[in-house]
Amino acid sequence: QVQLVESGGGLVQAGGSLRLSCAASGRTFSVYGMGWFRQAPGKEREFVAAIGRSGGSTTYADSVKGRFTISRDNVKNTYLQMNSLKPEDTAVYYCAASATWRWGTPGSGDFGSWGQGTQVTVSS
């Protein structure tokens, strides 16, 4: 089992930045990829970014390319740097861990462990 805890969410004005963190614990040896997803009110959860075990193999949703950056310090800590935030980025952001994702744009089904989410609100 892998436990994930997100932090770093908050309220920010449009154009501002936030850095989300995800701390993993438990059976992290089984984790290959880490990802970030988000869910806005009235919408389904959508993919934001993912990163491979070694810190390479990054992929991003088109909506955040050039603005968000996913990174890893190690198997435990994963980050999402969010710049040039827009009101449409407002959502609950979830960290997720995958033992199977290797390439391409993942779906939520590729991730077996999820954090509780952290709220990001971007005001205009």
Query: Is residue 12 very low, low, confident or very high in pLDDT (cuts 50, 70, 90)?
Result: very high
- CB-CB contact of 94 with 75 (8 Å): no
Q: How many helices (H) and strands (E) does the chain have?
A: 0, 11
pLDDT at 103: 82
3-state SS, residue 29: helix
Q: What is the pLDDT of residues 102-119, one digit of tens each?
A: 888 888 899 999 999 999
Q: Among 59, 70, 56, 39, which Cα is nearest to 106's? A: 59
Torsion of CA 97, 102, 104, 109, to 10 degrees: -40
